Amino acid sequence: MNSGRFKNAINSEKIVLVNFYADWCVPCKLMDPVLEKVKNDLKNSIKIIKVNVDRNPFIAATYKIRSIPTLVAFINGSIYWKGVGLKTAREIKSALKKQG
C-alpha cells in the first residue's frame, strides 16, 4: 500500500482501525482473531486495515510505529487512539467507544 492509498483509506467518517504488523511477529498473528471479533461485534461502524511495517516503512515511520503489533484508530484522517502490544477485543472496543 502506498502512502497516497493509505491516506485515502484513513480519511473516513467511520472508524478506521489500522493494524501495524509484520509477518514474522508472533504477537501480531495472535491479534488476527481478536480483530476479527472486533470487526464482527462493531459491524458497519468500523473498517480494519493491515499495514505490514516491513513492506511499508515510510507509513510506519510517519505514524511513529516503534513496536508491533500497534493499533491506530483514525476518524477523518486524524489519530484519536493508539494501542501498542496485544489487546483484547474488550480493550479495543472500550477504547474506541470512549474516543468515538
What was the pLDDT predicted at 47?
Answer: 95
pLDDT over 70 (residue 50): yes
**CATH code at 92?**
3.40.30.10
Task: Provide the mean pLDDT of the chain.
Answer: 94
What strands, in cross-sheet order, belong to the sheet with 70-75?
46-52, 15-21, 70-75, 78-84
How far apart CA 28 and CA 26 sit, in angstroms, is 5
Domain around 78? 3-99
Which one from 10, 17, 28, 75 is the annotated catalytic residue? 28
pLDDT band of residue 97 (cuts 50, 70, 90) is confident
DSSP state of 66: -
Q: What is the mean pLDDT of residues 81-97?
A: 95
Contact 50, 19 (CB under 8 A): yes
Which one from 1, 9, 25, 79 is the annotated catalytic residue? 25
What confidence tens digit (pLDDT) does each residue in 12-43 have?
Answer: 999 999 999 999 999 999 999 999 999 999 98
pLDDT over 90 (residue 66): yes
How many domains does one find in the chain? 1
Query: Is-catalytic flag, 76?
Result: no
Q: Is the pTM of this model over 0.85?
A: yes
Query: Is-catalytic flag, 25?
Result: yes
